[in-house]
Amino acid sequence: MNQIIEGDIQTAFELNNMIPEFEEKTLRAEFDKRLSLNNSKIYIAQIDGKNAGYVAAYDRYNDGSFYCWMAAVLPEYRRKGVLTSMMDTLENWAKENGYNKIKIKTRNDRKEMQHYLISKGYEFTEVVAKDDRADNRLHLEKDL
């Protein structure tokens, strides 16, 4: 059974370190810095009582948008609706709390995430070039 619960920084951090695509592991201090302020939200997806993924978001821009900083699902739980359940929960919470859009970034080499976001109504708003084109940051947003 798929369940979305409110999570904490430690659980999100532990899940983050289990995501194979995240070669550059984000430091715990970065999780604390971003998620200890500005109305942050962490959701954990559970399948049969086991943590399967997380989303971590906060009010980064103070412009009516809510920024989804990290979103990840462990490989063995992908293509089971886990990310959709977490993102729907985040979007609903944001809308109910007065936010008018969700902003998110991904990288040029994360094609599955790009396809997912586009399929869910997110639109590209900016590309930030990096030395390695695969690392280009793609900014997307979705009106709520």
47-64 pLDDT per residue, tens = 999 999 999 999 999 999
| pLDDT of the residue at 55 | 98
Homologous superfamily (CATH) of 2-143 is Gcn5-related N-acetyltransferase (GNAT) (3.40.630.30)
Q: Taking residues 18-22, report their average pLDDT.
A: 90
Q: Give the relative orientation of helices 9-16 and 28-35 as an angle to the nearest 10 degrees.
A: 140
Q: Cα separations (Å) of 14 from 8, 44, 54, 121?
A: 10, 11, 10, 29
pLDDT at 1 over 70: no
Q: Taking residues 7-28, report their average pLDDT.
A: 89
pLDDT at 6 over 80: yes
* Strands lying side by side in the sheet with 41-47: 2-6, 41-47, 50-58, 65-73, 101-107, 137-143, 123-128
Q: What percent of the chain stands above pLDDT 70?
A: 99
